[in-house]
Amino acid sequence: MSKHVCPEDPAVVAWLTRVLPDPADPGRMITCREYRDLPDKAIAQNIIDKAYGSWRGLAARYGLEVRAQRRSIDGKPQLDAPSVAELHRLAGELHDGTHGPSHGEYTIYATGPAMGTAGLKKLFGTWAAVLEAAGLRHGTHSYYVLAANARRKAHEAARGPRGPVASKYERGDEAVSREPVGLPIASVQKPVPIVRPDEVYKGYVRTMIR
């Protein structure tokens, strides 16, 4: 509790009142991405989401409007230029331009001012619709798996042959060698049972395996 930041703390409220309005349009609030890029934030975004429910709820708390989604003439959502550029960049680097990046690839490798994966899916509904809006082809799950395997094999081949990599728990200075010693298990003779008929109940046989 000593590290808890209350969203209604006067210092936090004063800071949010100062940074939330968009400098280009003070009546509207900055986007989530712009908030994440702010240095030395007084409160984390996940705490804001828990306190106000959503980014729109935060805007209502401070009397601001959320920036409306851009839409084309026919009423369908459209991608912003940075997101289109990032999708095409990843398509060229990962798939030679034949397919757009998968949902996971975009989540891991997307950089810059492009929209996040969650925002794109919320705007278009499916990842296939996102790629279609960018003019890219959506591949099947099998295609993306095979493409990832091919990239990994090419990377390993370019790296060259390497010896076995020691475990992080392997110090290499143990007194007892870890190399296998002794006879293989398959060549060990089977144990011979020793039968002692004495000192047992009638009708039973005592057997000891040595």
Per-residue pLDDT tens over the stretch 47-74: 888 888 877 888 888 888 876 545 444 5
> Is the domain of 85 the same as that of 57?
no
- The lowest-confidence range among 88-97, 129-138, 140-149, 192-201 is 192-201
pLDDT in tens, 100-143: 999 889 988 888 777 888 878 878 888 998 999 899 999 999 99
Indicate whether 164 belongs to any domain.
Answer: no
Question: 91 and 129: one domain?
Answer: yes
How would DSSP label each residue in 178-201? Answer: -S--S--GGGSPPPPEEEE-TTS-
Higher model confidence: residue 1 or residue 90? 90
Beta bridge partners, 71, equal 77
Q: Is there a domain that residue 170 lies in?
A: no
Q: Is residue 95 part of a domain?
A: yes
Domain assignment of residue 175, yes or no: no
Q: Let me know if residue 69 belongs to a domain.
A: no
Same domain, 87 and 55: no
| Predicted local confidence at residue 144, as pLDDT | 92
Is residue 85 located within the same domain as residue 43?
no
Q: Which residue among 102, 126, 145 closes a domain?
A: 145
* 50 in the same domain as 91: no
Whether residues 24 and 52 share a domain: the answer is: yes
pLDDT of amino acid 189 = 56
Q: Are residues 140 and 90 in the same domain?
A: yes
101 within some domain: yes
pLDDT in the model for residue 33: 75
Which one of 118, 145, 172 terminates a domain? 145
Q: Specify whether 49 is located in the same domain as 103.
A: no
Q: How far apart are the first and last CA of the chain?
A: 62
Q: Examine residue 163 and state whether it is found in any structural domain, yes or no.
A: no
Q: Say how many domains are in the chain.
A: 2
User: Is 171 part of a structural domain of the chain?
Assistant: no
Q: Pick from 110, 130, 145: which residue ends a domain?
A: 145
Domain match, 21 and 50 both: yes
Say whether both 134 and 92 belong to one domain.
yes
Answer yes or no: are the C-beta atoms of 22 and 28 closer than 8 Å.
yes
Q: Do 52 and 89 have their domain in common?
A: no
37: Cβ contacts below 8 Å, ≥ 6 apart: none
Residues 97 and 137 in one domain: yes
Contacts 24+ apart (CB under 8 A), 89-94: 91/136, 94/147, 94/151
Full residue range of the structural domain in which residue 57 is found: 10-61
What residue type is assigned to position 150 of the chain?
Answer: A
Q: How far apart are CA 210 and CA 193, in angstroms?
A: 7
Q: What are the residues whose beta carbons fall under 8 Å from the beta carbon of 65, sequence distance 6 or more?
A: 27, 28, 29, 59
